[in-house]
A = this chain, B = another copy of it.
Amino acid sequence: MRARSTSLKDVAEALNVSYSLVSKVMGGRMGNTRARPEIIQAIHAKAKELDYHPHPLASALKRGHKGAVGVLIHPVGEEGSEIATRLLRGISTGLDTHKIRMWLRFYSSDEEFLHHFDKRARNEVDGVIVVGIPHQKTMEQIMELHDNGMPAITVFDGYQGNTLANVIADVKQQGFLATEHLILRGCRRLAHLVTGSTPNSNLRYKGFLEAHEKYGLVPDSSLAFVAKNYKLESGESSARHWLDQKSSFDGIVAQSDHQAIGAIHELLRHGIRVPDQVRVIGVDDSPLCQSSPVPLSSVTGEWTAVGALAAEKVVQEIIDHRPAESRLLIPRLIARMSSA
* Contact surface of A with B, Cβ cutoff 8 Å: 1-2, 4-5, 51, 53, 55-58, 60-61, 64-68, 75, 78-80, 82, 84-85, 88-89, 92, 96, 99, 101-106, 119-120, 123-124, 148-150, 232, 258, 261-262, 265, 268, 286-288, 290-291, 293, 321
Contacts and interface: CB of A to CB of B under 8 A. Distances in A.
A53 B288 CA distance: 44
* Most chain B CB within a 10 A radius of its CB, from A89, A101, A124, A291: A291
A92 B119 contact: no
Return the 9 tightest CB-CB contacts between A and B, nearest first.
Answer: A80-B287, A79-B287, A101-B101, A2-B149, A92-B104, A84-B85, A57-B61, A57-B57, A102-B102
Q: What is the copy number of this chain in the assembly?
A: 2
A69 to B, nearest CB: 10
Nearest to A149: B2
Contact of A104 (B88, B148, B150, B268): B88
Contacts of A79: 82, 287, 290
B101 A290 contact: no
Given A101-B102, A102-B104, A78 B119 contact: no
A251 B84 CA distance: 34
Contacts of A5: 123
A93 to B, nearest CB: 8
A92 B105 CA distance: 6
B149 A80 contact: no
A38 to B, nearest CB: 26
Contacts of A150: 2
Nearest to A290: B232
